[in-house]
Structure 1
């Protein structure tokens, strides 16, 4: 069992964490060659979508063959963190405009179907790639792919 799943406490301001990003093998090659780029949108607006929970990242991209999924393991200095703990949160897509570097969706708060945590990091320069790993086998891979690429 992943320790991040048990730990309902969010990332603390200014701390560096190991996180995971699930993607296709082709996208992984591009990311490894030129780094992460901010998405144009998503559930939390623009940014790089990551999770401290390997189970979460292993599900992405949803509806993509499991044998072509790759998880990129990264180190992230989260900077100033804002918890977005419900749909239609007033800062759901504007957290960065209010001085936050990372938005964190707590597990089981109703924002994502899987009930697993999610983070959106505004500035890709906060992310250092460690390596790539195989995704964990996914059981019952329900979940929401909003903005997570």
Structure 2
């Protein structure tokens, strides 16, 4: 993401004022939360703990994000940054393990933030579903 945004960043996602904070959140996501997310999502493969216990471990990071979102609409302020873009897909995965459970948890700001991203034009464009190409189909050119 960083390389791509260094080439072109029209939304200013690589905001230098919050770069260290963004890197710290992404690091916590990638090195702590992802571990618990994988075990929560695939608890049947990780029998050392119950799915609920894995979820609770993952919630430690959700609490951090909830705190960030209590005063501002995005993780690091009034505008989206690389932290929002980099972390959202993992929170989406966590939520989709059991949506009813996720939306019953005490994280209203995080839930709103996720819903806003799921309805955002960037996400909807990135998640456009295409039929698998087959021999004889017209060439598909993706927008740049």
TM-score by length of 1: 0.22
Tell me which protein shows more strand as a share of its residues: 1
Whichever structure has more helix as a proportion of its residues is 2
Structure 2-normalised TM-score? Answer: 0.22
Q: Which has the larger radius of gyration?
A: 2
> RCO higher in 1 or 2 (8 Å CA, sep ≥ 6)?
1
